[in-house]
Structure 1
Amino acid sequence: MDIVKVFGNNLRKYRTNLGLSQEEFAERCGMHRTYISAIECYRRSISLENIQRIADALGVDTYLLFIEKEKLCNE
């Protein structure tokens, strides 16, 4: 499992499900749009504090951002 890709994919999935652009989402969690883009493109590892800020802005439990899509489908 590549945790950076799993996190980036899940971030994009939850963000788009909320109908938010990267810019709108970045404003919601107090980050820059290019930072969100870098996470979604797997070019950025992030701190635990920022992971929590992202989860809070998405309205999801933090652990959900680390579960691979295939594992969610098999539950």
Structure 2
Amino acid sequence: MSALDRAYQRCQTPAQARHYARICEKNRNWPAAQLYHEVAEALEAAERLRAAIHPACPICGGRGMLDDIECWLCSPPARF
């Protein structure tokens, strides 16, 4: 497993990648810190692409629920 594979496996969000980058910087591991900064940028770009491809629902914001009621626009229809 390469260092890049390990970084992507470990970091699910850009905030996690930046956290690991700060840890690496404190330990003076500059190549790993740079790698984690680049992973954070890539994860942010992926989030922006996902948001552009699948925009959030204007009614519920993509959550699928309005309080305790299912969103009629984005939730799958009930099948009887």
TM-score above 0.5, yes or no: no
Question: Which structure has the larger Rg?
Answer: 2
Greater RCO (CA < 8 Å, at least 6 residues apart): 1
Q: TM-score under structure 1 normalisation?
A: 0.26
Q: TM-score under structure 2 normalisation?
A: 0.25
